[in-house]
Homo-oligomer: A and B are copies of this chain.
Amino acid sequence: MQTTLLPSDHVRAIVQRIGLHELMDALIARLTTAFATFEPAHTHSPARSGFNYTDPELGLIEWMPVMTGGRVTIKVVGYHPSNPRARQLPTILSTVSTYDTQTGHWIAVADGNFLTALRTGAASAIASRALAAPHSHIVGLIGAGAQAVTQLHGLSRVLPIEAAWVYDRDPAVAHSFRKRAGFLHIELIPVDASGLAQLVERADVLCTCTSVDVGAGPVFADGAHKPWLHVNAIGSDFPGKTELPLSLLQRSLVVPDFPAQAMQEGECQRLSPTEIGPSLVDVVKNPERYAARRETTTVFDSTGWSLEDHVALGLLMDYARDLGLGIPVDIESLAEDPHDPYAFAAPDGLRVLHPSRQNGAVNHGALRA
């Protein structure tokens, strides 16, 4: 019984063989099915938990578990903002493991970074398909980093997007967005801070995907916007870290991805329970009930849900299987006599392998030599 490893270069091979558009489309389809068939009694996703610290430097290691469909999937995420400058490593390192609930077997583990980026874009695509106006063709991006690429990619697969206005507080990031998102063949219009109000005013769909500091929001001022504005709020993921003007939230239908978590870490943390709308699952399950809201102001409060990681891992593992990718390894101990913890290592009678050490003398010399 083997565990399949899907390292980063096998994920790369999947992207190169399948193509980014087909991957995004396939994930949107699978996530839509997962939401449409979601049953709270059969999917359990406790709040993410972890360690955050400031020593040796600011950082966080957390785990996001979910149990669904006979599997437990756990993403372990490291967030270490000094990595790029101090060590030429990415800020985020993550891996996603899945286990069988019948046996406890560790089925697979994959690099989690691409998977997370793709599922965040796919979730916004699903929310926008359900809540944005069908004629939406202009996107406003506030924050033009990594998340902006997958937001625009996801939106472009479900709406007739023609142009995106792009703002970032770092002009170099706004500038490089053209290179990173060029593959989408969408007109990209960079703006500086003086153009931010116009960006909001012109957008059919707005995506906020900033690294705003705790307590520093909102990232734009409330003001004129289209009556059917749909906002995907992506950046809020920590208590006190929010992006949207409270007045905008309060007059919008606010749809969280994972309500319990959104109330802790998302835009919803600023709202009372009666100000929070249906979850994205509710919206996907009842499209007719919310169809009229597409012409009103709506917000998708995206905090990142472990169920999305689970579905994305399943998609990548299916492609890996079909393409002959993934590395099988035997890691778990299987041969064990349940009553004998040493049986796997040493047959009966052959256990004292170093009789000279029987009297408790510990000799590490050989190891150090």
A residues apposed to B, CB below 8 Å = 1, 5-9, 11-12, 15-16, 18-22, 25-26, 29, 44, 46, 49-51, 53, 56-57, 59, 61, 63, 65, 67, 70, 72, 74, 76-80, 83-84, 87, 89-95, 97, 99, 101-106, 109-111, 113-114, 117-118, 144-147, 149-150, 157, 173, 176-177, 179-180, 182-183, 318-319, 322-323, 327, 329-346, 348-349, 351-354, 357-358, 360, 362-364, 367-368
How far is it, in angstroms, between the C-alpha of A77 and the C-alpha of B345 when the chains are bound?
20
Pairwise interchain contact A114-B26, C-beta atoms closer than 8 A: no
- Neighbouring B residues of A29 by C-beta, 8 Å: 362
How far is it, in angstroms, between the C-alpha of A182 and the C-alpha of B339 when the chains are bound?
14
Could you say which of A50, A80, A146, A332 has the most chain B C-beta atoms within 10 Å of its C-beta?
A332
Q: Can you name 26 A-B pairs with beta carbons within 8 Å?
A: A5-B329, A8-B330, A11-B333, A12-B344, A16-B353, A19-B352, A19-B354, A20-B351, A20-B353, A21-B358, A22-B362, A22-B363, A46-B49, A49-B49, A51-B101, A63-B63, A78-B103, A80-B103, A89-B103, A91-B338, A109-B331, A145-B339, A173-B339, A180-B343, A182-B348, A183-B342
Pairwise interchain contact B351-A183, C-beta atoms closer than 8 A: yes
What 10 A-B pairs have minimum CB-CB distances, sorted nearest first? A78-B104, A117-B341, A183-B351, A15-B345, A19-B354, A8-B333, A322-B367, A113-B333, A7-B331, A93-B104
How far is it, in angstroms, between the C-alpha of A95 and the C-alpha of B182 when the chains are bound?
43
Could you say which of A318, A329, A340, A346 has the most chain B C-beta atoms within 10 Å of its C-beta?
A340
Pairwise interchain contact A339-B180, C-beta atoms closer than 8 A: yes
Pairwise interchain contact A26-B362, C-beta atoms closer than 8 A: yes
